[in-house]
Amino acid sequence: MPFGELIYQGLLLIQRKYMNRHDASTGNSLDFGDLTVTRYSGGAGSNNTRGLFFMGNTNPGHTNTIDFVTIASTGNAQDFGDSSMSDTGGPTQGAGVAASPNRIVFFGGYRSGTDRTTEMQFVNPNTKGDSTRFGDLETAQNSDGNGLSSSHGGL
């Protein structure tokens, strides 16, 4: 997942400066809008209403920005809040994401080189705001898998 992808009911959003929606009937991509910060290797998760894009590499550096889009309509991303991972060593890239309707947890990732983190943060996708510390993974890692459920996320 090189750019951070968000897939919901046949809608594929690719996390770059420009987001593209994939038209499952034709196989073509359509312009969806722009992110607020150009980046790659961030995390992405959603509930039924909003798609969120977390952090990422801005080359050089990283961003702690969390953007969101309303899945039902095209348009530019809007600012959701910031990752508070920047309070504990800086924002990351390559974070995993676990999503449910009322909570999206992003975890792990790295800041530069081999500086990986065990940190987990969460947001409520229904309410804009900064992330909150959720806990720690047992082992520091990056390029984590993602999971989702109607009742809980999976790490």
| Per-residue pLDDT tens digits for 49-100 | 898 988 888 877 788 899 999 888 888 889 999 988 755 566 677 778 888 8
Q: Determine, yes or no, domain membership for 110.
A: yes
Phi, psi of 86 (to 5 degrees): -65, -20
Provide the number of structural domains found in the chain: 1
Confidence of residue 4 (pLDDT cuts 50, 70, 90): very low
Residue 153 belongs to a domain: no
Cα–Cα separations (whole angstroms), residue 110 to 5, 6, 78, 90, 144 = 18, 20, 25, 9, 11
User: Would residue 137 count as lying in a domain?
Assistant: yes
> Domain of 139?
5-148
Residue 147 vs residues 52, 57, 151, 152: alpha-carbon distances, Å = 14, 22, 11, 9
Q: What average pLDDT score do residues 21-28 get?
A: 65
In the chain, % of residues over pLDDT 90:
17
Q: pLDDT at position 66, please?
A: 93
Q: Is residue 154 part of a domain?
A: no
Q: Residue 81 maps to which CATH number?
A: 2.120.10.80
Output the pLDDT for position 94: 74
Asked if residue 28 belongs to a domain, the reply is: yes
155 domain residue, yes or no: no
